[in-house]
Amino acid sequence: MNVILVDPSLFTAPYDAALTRGLVVAGVEPKWLTRRIRPGDRAELPAQFTDDFFYRRTDQLGWVPPSLRPIIKGCAHLAATASLLTRIRRARPDAVHVQWVVLPLIDIIAMAFIRRWCPLVLTIHDTAPFNAMSWIQRWGSKVPAKLADCVIVHTHAGRQALRHQGVSENRVSVIPHGPLSLPMCAAPPPVRDGRWTAVLFGEIKPYKGLDILIEAVAALPKSVRRGLRVIVAGRPRMDVAPLRSRIAALGLGDQFEWRLGRLSEEQMATLFAEADGFVFPYRQIDASGVYYLVKPLRKWLIASRVGIFAEDMTSPAHGSLVPPADVPALARALEHAIAARPRSAFLGFETSWSEIGRATRAVYERAKAEFDARHTQRRRDM
């Protein structure tokens, strides 16, 4: 079975690579249409499964004024999408699997063409996409799920969200996110900080609730707060200056440590070795790659009761769940962790990538049945 998978901006390279291994085991020959690897990034996808033609001349725009970058990227995406359609038209794969919709305004048109040529599958990693992004990315973001023959989500909450958006449940499959590989191991730091170290890791975006975490730390009694250290690590996708100012205004400079930017594998390994726990004060989420990356470490987890956290952290021994945006509840969870220094009782992942590959192939086969039925009906109507 030949399948083209589309991740133009390579948003989820570790997930893509793991899914590829599962698909190969399931007898699927995948071909990823995506962008080139950027300097400093690790090549996750095997070269034989990759056609990296997206954004070849425009991926690095450091020399372009910020005001012009969205226009240039939009034009580059339009040109690359035209090339994408040509490749699909020539290849005639058994299915096309879109992993990420980058610019709905353009991608909807492309998907409408694709579904005329072959079965179309869409994975929605987040049913509330483009948090805090531009209106042009949000516009039409709910249409692709209605165009696809079959849709994949990672949580039952995601399926319910799509049902409320008018997508038939019969076309939606829940396939869990699988475990992700940890970076190289690092030895514990020679001099360990005596405070309980909580880490908020990953790209920093408004929906991830760093502002909520700051207020929760401020709500702790001073005697308790002195036993806490928070490391904020990752690439900012928002202006963090107001958050820094808020930390200074609250007198929390001793509690917060910043490690901004994309971390190397060595830096990630060191960060994970330093952590006593990880915090996910998200306002909303479906699935979280960071969660699946750090879960095997058996560090204590504090998360909002949303999405994958609500569905997967089913035992109090896994960590603390708090209502989203509830500052007092988050403060209580932090206070408990500082005092008790608990460890997660994580036992293992329930679903392997081989199982995920087989389940995904089953979706392709169902999409092909939908496609064949649609075209049979079209011929009868002619």
CA nearest neighbour of 115 among 139, 93, 142:
93
The pLDDT, as a whole number, for residue 65 is 67
DSSP three-state, residue 185: coil
The pLDDT, as a whole number, for residue 60 is 63
Q: What is the dihedral of CA 147, 176, 157, 141, to 10 degrees?
A: -30
- 196-340: same fold as 2-178+352-381? yes
Sheet holding 228-234, edge to edge: 256-260, 228-234, 196-201, 277-280, 300-304, 319-322
Distance in angstroms (rounded) separating the CA atoms of residues 78 and 58? 12
Exposed e or buried b for every residue in 24-38, given b needs 16+ CB within 10 A? bbbebebbbbbbbbe
CATH topology of domain 2-178+352-381: Rossmann fold (3.40.50)
Average pLDDT value over all residues in the chain:
88
Domain boundaries, the chain: 2-178+352-381, 196-340
Give Cα 159 distance to the centre of its chain: 17
Enter the pTM of the model. 0.84
- The answer regarding whether domain 196-340 maps to CATH 3.20.20.70 reads no
Could you give phi then psi for residue 205, rounded to 5 degrees? Answer: -130, 155
Stretch 207-231: mean pLDDT: 96
- Evaluate if residue 187 carries a pLDDT over 70: no
Please report, as a single letter, which amino acid is at residue 349.
F
Quote the strand ranges of 110-167, DSSP E.
Answer: 120-123, 150-153
pLDDT tens digits, 75-90: 888 999 999 999 999 9
- Evaluate if residue 132 carries a pLDDT over 50: no
Please report, as a single letter, which amino acid is at residue 324.
P
Stretch 213-229: mean pLDDT: 97
- Evaluate if residue 138 carries a pLDDT over 70: no
What stretches of 165-221 show up as alpha helix (H) in DSSP? 210-219
